[in-house]
Structures are given as structure tokens and as C-alpha cells.
Structure 1
Amino acid sequence: MSDVIIACQTLSDELNLAMQQTGVRYPVIWVESDYHNDPNQLRAKLQREIDGLDGVHNVLFAYGCCGSGLVGLKATSANLIIPKTEDCISMVLSRPGEAFIRPKETYFLTKGWMEGSKSIFVEYEHALKRYGETRARRLFDVMLKHYRYFMLIDTGAYHVRGCLDKVQELAQNTGLQTVVAEGGLWFLKQLLTGPYEQDFCVIPKGGTVDISHFGLAQAVPVRQAIQGGV
């Protein structure tokens, strides 16, 4: 076994389609989206997965920096290859060669995020059952006071229509507007196929992920890390 993918469950639709389109079929270790709620828990979970690997050359991460949840990871068993993105949302909204500017006042959604066990939809239903409609709306008015839009990202990996009605219903209940934005899979495809010259940080075996790796400098020359068997 040469390469393994560690991926957030929220990207399952997108990563599965990217593998189908590229023909790359590395084993995938799926990690539950709930770990995103605490960067320290996410880091600890990912480190356990890295430490448990054997006979692997590269670990490909379908993650971004994710609230610094990946900062501090140690490449104990293999080289680590990580997209230089803020998070999964940045990954599916980025364009090749363009800097991603996150729209302000926007709450981002994909099918994968909507299906999470602690998604905003689950939280709203829980609030309705516990407090009733009037108080639930007041709570969400406070929670979403800095937002104006729900943005559903059309990554091409699922039917947007099946999600849009649900988003619009929550938007109506919380006073936000709904917009649909075009996303894409190019970042995930490049994660699968390379090259890793510009948009990825490469941490050689024995190294540690630093915040500077997400945009300031390459960890090591790419060919040395990927081909040289560091």
C-alpha cells in the first residue's frame, strides 16, 4: 500500500466522484464531521489515524487547515500532503490559480454539511422540540445575527434541488436569504493525482505541520518528499 486518504465525512460525495472521474482508488479513512467542533479533538483523532498506519508512503488529506485542527500533526508514519486551504468550504469553492476570498455574512452549506449529526438543521429541530417555535427563532436570531445568506454550494457531486427546499425553509424561519454558488472538484482531483507544487503543503516523514505551511512556504522540495522516500 503506497498512499492512503484521510477525509472528512462531509466531503464523501465530492471525494467519491473525484475518485470516479480520475480513476484513482486509494483506500479512504473517513472521519466523522463532529470532530470539526473542537480543533484539539480533530487533531488528536487525525494523529491516531496517522500513527496507526504501516507501509504507507503518503497520506493525502481531504482537509484544509480547519481552525488549526491540522496544525501540530506529526508525520510519524508517512509523508503528509495537505491542501493549502482554510477548510473544506474553501476547497470546493476555490478556482485554479485564483486566491479564494470568503464572502462575508455567509453561512456555507453542502449536502455533506447538511447531513452531519450536529448540523444547523439538526440544531434547529432540536430547539423547536425543546423550546417551541417562538423561542427557537429567537435563539437562532442571536446565533445567526452576523449572517445574511445561506449559500448552498453546487459541487456537481449531488442534486442541488434535493437540498434547496430544506435550505429555503430554514432561511425563511431564520430571516436569511438563500443563494446557490457553483463549486468544483479540481482541488480534490489534484490531491489524488498531483502535482503538489503550489497548492499543497508537503510534510516529510518525521516532520510536523506548522501554520506557515498553509501559504507561506513549502515544507520541503516537493520532489524530494514525494519521490525521494524521505
Structure 2
Amino acid sequence: MILKLISCEIFYREMCAAVAKSPHRVDIEFLPKGLHDLPPGEMPARVQEVIDTVPDDTYDAILLGYGLCNNGVAGITARTCPLILPRAHDCITLFLGSRQRYREIFDANPGTYFLTSGWLERGETSGDLADLSVQQQLGMNRSMEDLIDQYGEDNAKYLYETLCNGTKNYSRFMWIPMGVEPESMLQAAKEKTAEHDWKLETVPGDMQLINDLINGNWNEENFLAVPPGSTIQACHNDRIVSY
């Protein structure tokens, strides 16, 4: 098969590793991390623009390297060839290999921020995406000093804890090695943990979902195949997405 992969750059190393071993030809296009932080409707519109530039009659399918991502793929329409996407709420499902495993680890580890090579290398949103993000528009990225200057110390403390301190309910990082990153990534994870004075735990990643996406193993349990002319929808059950 000849496939087109449109993926969030958070999967850069993992997708490239999978494509290198795939029996199929896969043309890759990465989009910047942070689309899911844009106001509602912006992410699907941007991904749709890329899909609409894919030449007709060139590919057997377009693969989406995304989870549902805060409804970021809901509303995307397949044009002339099928869209294939994982049944996943977000990217961590793909890093852990299944939504069942993600749920087990998530439920057993409250207050955990997950780290992968992509989150260490590309986790900071910058440029126009940062300026357009919901966080920026609501003032969630402002410093305590900036808030004090505008609102006074007491009001600033309340606003900071309410709007700006997005990590106040977290106490640990969980490092997910995928087997495709250099060993130095563990040291980077340790340094980030020290900055926050949190705990660091490690849970092995699983390339199964990523490999299945790239290799064409699209079983209905784990993947949605959207036929031409149909539109991705979020569904409020374990299937996560439908059309």
C-alpha cells in the first residue's frame, strides 16, 4: 500500500521508527504540537486543510497520528480516500499501546504527568499557536509578578492558583521509554523532575498501536476506518470515535 501519515509532532521519533520498518510506503507530514490547545473548531479545521491538499488517486489511505485530543479530530471529513485513526482519547494511549492499559495506569496513578521523548523535545507550544491558545486568551500563561502588578498581591494569588497554576494537582512524572529514544532522554526526564521537585516513575511504553497504524493492521477494535465522504464524530463510549 501507499499511505499518507498526518501526525502530531509529539510522535516524531516513534512514527519515524515505525515507518522505517513498515512493509508499505508511507509519506509523513508532521503538524506542530499544540493544535489541541486552540479554541474549539480550530484544530479540525487545520488538519482538514492538510487533508484537502493530499492529491487524489495517490494514496490508499490517510493515517491520522492523533487521538480524539479534546475533540480535535471531530468534524474532519474523508475526501477521496479513507481516513484511519486510532480509537484513543489522547496521545498517551498510543504511547502505552492500548486504551485499556492507559486506563489502568491512569486510575492507579492520580496526579501524574506523563513524559515521552516528544514531550521533552517538543512539549512547549510556541509561535502563533501559543498566541492563539485558550490558555493565552484566558491569561493562564501569566506570571505571578505580572498579576501582582495589575491586580495587587491578594487578588493575584487567587487568580494564579485558580487560572495559572496548571500543575497544582500533580506530584509526579511518569517516564514512558518507547525503545526508540537515546538513553540521554532519561537524564532529561530526571532534570525536569528535579525542577518541579516531584517524584519520577518509569513505565515501559508499547509500540503496538503505532506499529499497527503504520503497518495496516487496522482491526475495528482499535481503529476507525472513515470512508470517503464521511465525517469523524466523537462518541461517548469506549469506541471513542465513529462516523
- The two structures have a TM-score, normalised by structure 1, of 0.77
Which residue number in structure 2 is paired with residue 87 of structure 1? 90
Which residue number in structure 2 is paired with residue 66 of structure 1? 69
Which residue number in structure 1 is paired with residue 120 of structure 2? 114
Q: 1:214 to 1:208 in 2, by over 3 A?
A: farther
For the Cα contact (< 8 Å) 1:81–1:200, is it kept in 2?
yes
Q: 1:85 to 1:219 in 2, by over 3 A?
A: closer
Unmatched 5+ stretches in structure 2: 126-140, 147-156
Q: 1:75 to 1:214 in 2, by over 3 A?
A: farther
Could you tell me which amino acid in structure 1 is paired with residue 22 of structure 2? T
Which residue number in structure 1 is paired with residue 9 of structure 2? 9
Alpha-carbon separation, structure 2, partners of 1:219 and 1:57? 20
Alpha-carbon separation, structure 2, partners of 1:217 and 1:61? 15
> Structure 1, residues 40-77: CA drift from partner, whole Å, max 9, x if none?
33211110011111223311111111111001111123
For the Cα contact (< 8 Å) 1:66–1:88, is it kept in 2?
yes
1:1-230 equivalence runs, <5 A: 2-38=2-38, 40-54=41-55, 55=57, 56-95=59-98, 98-101=100-103, 102=106, 103-116=109-122, 118=124, 142-159=165-182, 161-197=183-219, 198-212=221-235, 215-216=238-239
Alpha-carbon separation, structure 2, partners of 1:11 and 1:217? 20
Alpha-carbon RMSD: 3.1
Alpha-carbon separation, structure 1, partners of 2:237 and 2:4? 21
Unmatched 5+ stretches in structure 1: 120-125, 132-137, 221-230
> Structure 1, residues 189-215: CA drift from partner, whole Å, max 9, x if none?
111223322200111100000112974
Deviation at 1:218, TM superposition (A): 8.1
Q: 1:20 to 1:62 in 2, by over 3 A?
A: same
Q: 1:142 to 1:175 in 2, by over 3 A?
A: farther
